[in-house]
């Protein structure tokens, strides 16, 4: 066991939003920074007022009950914290949803979660046609990337998006605009001024706060049930690791990672809202030049990212020629940080990248390399406060120091289980321990290093890709006889998806396979390369040996 968990400062996530908003009321909380330099901002007081209004809309206008699931599907923009905090203030459950999901992926998550309300950015609302009838969604709220911008910049940006970039399709499903929903919620609360307090009355740390979807340990998409206590415990655990470099009310954190991802949700949103930071939101960090305005216009002190983001910045002349002079530290997670990237970053910026390790099921932080103290290259650091780690063999017995074993975790940040999947929960949580599926070693000082993944999961720029899902899509092609999907090393994304196919008949080539996959899969899941074969390596019972294909590819 590490140091004890620091005392929790907040009773629930609505309490966090309320107290931080009051403490830093007149300071800027969020700024959406567009690549052209135009921006919009909200103060802490404005976030508080607007999120109150959204809570009122959910409970009074729509008449939802406590515990109702609300799906939020937007990129990084001012609407995100307003809706997220409003969901918590309403006593409801947040369902973070990737805005780049295909309609079939969206339908699965909406149906599985039982979400009754979907807040979606207008750029992708055209994906809803034909899928809502298979879900419990009864109200669609449409938000904008430019939500809460001034009149002139909003008009300019939306004109460019609609007329030039043509990325604002017509919304053909019944919906309400977020501005109208907020107005209705605010009016409802004026009629019932004491309603807000009642929404969270009796809600404690054990209450469900979010369903964070993940492939978990088996690759089947499911919602990790994270309570207020899970998320607030992990907030304090992560905060303690960086507290020496945080001056409350004075930090500027760059949020390039998507807030719907558990890493940015916990670290950038929750931790830095508690710290009174100004959060500079970038709706899309690709191409990486989209970050230049943020670094040029704001004194960024913190940045979180994955290895590929840091590597991309280091290959930009504007960044290396004029590195951010206010930067205190960077935090890496989601994928292994390459040593050469960490060394070059420190040489150019004069600051460190502190690498950590976590997973959705642990809210997510499990280990962290101390920012102040000993940092070890190629290490994920030490266990965060209040967390126990065991390394076990296949029989569940502890391994000797220095020997590889599956990393098991026990602590207050570990999920309650998978939503409506008791069998999957029983596999992941055994005897009070979360089985991560990752293999690690530990040294004499308690520093851990990941050496392998127990499952076949592929990690593309910090996002999980599960071979079964991609294989199932490719197998739908009539021209495919057999298919196997593996991860191969990639300089840009850490790993890339490669499909091996035994074709039948004509018409099966790389272009056709990739085009087919784009219809059903988010871009990072689409195979980057396709190799045709006459046969697959198999076990005696006919199971395709992915391991042999990986070794061959490498």
419-467 per-position pLDDT tens digit:
999 999 999 999 999 999 888 999 999 999 887 666 777 889 988 787 8
Question: Which residue, chain included where needed, has tokens 């919602």?
Answer: 223
The pLDDT tens digits of the residues spanning 148-205 come to 999 988 888 888 887 666 778 889 999 999 999 999 999 999 999 899 999 999 889 9
Enter the pTM of the model: 0.87
Nearest-angstrom CA–CA distance, 317 and 159: 31
Nearest-angstrom CA–CA distance, 368 and 377: 12
Domain ranges of the chain: 43-203, 458-553
As separate numbers, helices (DSSP H) first and strands (DSSP E) second, the chain gives 18, 26
Lowest-confidence range among 26-30, 325-329, 550-554?
550-554
Helix, strand, coil shares, percent, the chain, to 5 = 35, 25, 40
At residue 216, the pLDDT reads 52
Give which of 281, 266, 329 is closest to 39, Cα–Cα: 281
* Angle (nearest 5°) at CA 438 between 433 and 442: 85
pLDDT level of residue 219 (50, 70, 90 thresholds): low
pLDDT level of residue 495 (50, 70, 90 thresholds): very high
Q: What is the mean pLDDT of residues 388-407?
A: 93
Sheet with 117-121: strands ordered across: 176-177, 139-143, 117-121, 69-73, 93-96, 208-214, 222-227
At residue 37, the pLDDT reads 81
Question: What is the distance, to the nearest Å, from the Cα of residue 293 to the centroid of all Cα atoms in its chain?
Answer: 23
Q: Show Cβ contacts of residue 169 under 8 Å, excluding neighbours closer than 6 positions.
A: 122, 123, 125, 126
- Whether 3 has a pLDDT exceeding 90, the answer reads no
At residue 517, the pLDDT reads 96
Higher pLDDT: 82 or 3? It is 82
How many CB atoms neighbour CB 65 within 10 A? 11
Is residue 522 classed as helix, strand or coil in its secondary structure? coil
Class of domain 43-203: alpha beta
**What fold characterizes domain 458-553?**
GMP Synthetase; Chain A, domain 3 (3.30.300)
The pLDDT tens digits of the residues spanning 279-321 come to 999 998 888 999 999 999 999 999 999 887 898 899 899 999 9
CB-based contact 525:472 (threshold 8 Å)? no
Higher pLDDT: 506 or 113? It is 113
């Amino acid at each position: 066991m590490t140091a004890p968990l620091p005392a929790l400062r907040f009773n629930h996530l609505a309490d966090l939003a309320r107290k931080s908003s009051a403490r830093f009321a007149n300071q800027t909380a969020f700024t959406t920074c567009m690549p052209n330099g135009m921006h919009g901002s909200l103060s802490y007081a404005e976030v508080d007022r607007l999120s109150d209004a959204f809570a009122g809309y959910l409970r009074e206008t729509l008449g939802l009950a406590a515990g109702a699931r609300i799906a939020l599907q937007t990129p990084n923009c001012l609407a995100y914290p307003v809706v997220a905090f409003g969901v918590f203030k309403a006593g409801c459950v947040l369902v973070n949803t990737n805005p780049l999901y295909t309609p079939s992926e969206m339908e699965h998550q909406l149906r599985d979660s039982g979400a009754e309300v979907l807040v979606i950015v207008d750029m992708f609302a055209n994906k809803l046609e034909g899928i809502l009838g298979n879900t419990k969604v009864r109200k669609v709220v449409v938000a904008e990337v430019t939500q809460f911008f001034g009149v002139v910049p909003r008009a300019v940006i939306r004109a460019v998006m609609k007329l030039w970039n043509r990325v604002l399709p017509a919304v053909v499903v019944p919906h309400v605009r977020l501005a109208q929903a907020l107005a209705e919620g605010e009016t409802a609360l004026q009629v019932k001024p004491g309603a807000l307090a009642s929404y969270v009355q009796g809600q404690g740390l054990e209450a469900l706060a979010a369903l964070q979807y993940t492939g978990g340990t088996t690759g089947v998409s499911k919602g990790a049930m994270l309570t207020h206590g899970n998320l607030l415990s992990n907030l304090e655990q992560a905060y303690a690791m960086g507290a020496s470099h945080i001056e409350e009310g004075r930090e500027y954190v760059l949020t390039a990672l998507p807030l719907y991802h558990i890493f940015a949700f916990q670290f950038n949103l929750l931790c830095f809202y508690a710290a009174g930071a100004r959060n500079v939101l970038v709706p899309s960090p690709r191409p990486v030049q989209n970050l230049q305005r943020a670094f040029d216009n704001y004194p960024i002190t913190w940045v979180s990212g994955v290895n590929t983001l840091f590597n991309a910045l280091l290959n930009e002349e504007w960044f290396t020629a004029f590195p951010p002079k206010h930067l205190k530290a960077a935090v890496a997670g989601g994928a292994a940080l390459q040593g050469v990237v960490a060394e070059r970053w420190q040489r150019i910026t004069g600051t460190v990248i502190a690498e950590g390790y976590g997973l959705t099921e642990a809210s997510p932080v499990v280990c962290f390399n101390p920012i102040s103290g000993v940092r070890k290259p190629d290490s994920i650091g030490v266990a965060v406060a209040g967390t126990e780690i065991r390394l076990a063999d296949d029989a569940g017995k502890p391994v000797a120091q220095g020997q590889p074993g599956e990393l098991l975790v026990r602590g207050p940040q570990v999920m309650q289980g998978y939503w409506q999947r008791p069998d999957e929960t029983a596999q992941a949580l055994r005897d009070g321990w979360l089985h991560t599926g990752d293999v690690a070693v530990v040294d004499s000082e308690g520093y851990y290093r990941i050496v392998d993944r127990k499952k076949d999961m592929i990690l593309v720029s910090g996002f999980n890709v599960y071979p079964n899902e991609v294989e199932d899509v490719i197998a739908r092609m009539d021209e495919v006889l057999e298919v196997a999907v593996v991860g191969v090393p990639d300089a840009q994304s850490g790993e890339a998806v490669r499909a091996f196919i035994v074709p039948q008949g004509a018409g099966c080539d790389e272009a056709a396979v990739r085009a087919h996959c784009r219809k059903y899969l988010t871009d990072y899941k689409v195979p980057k390369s396709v190799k045709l074969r006459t046969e697959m390596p198999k076990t005696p019972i006919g199971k395709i040996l992915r391991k042999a294909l990986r070794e061959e590819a490498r």
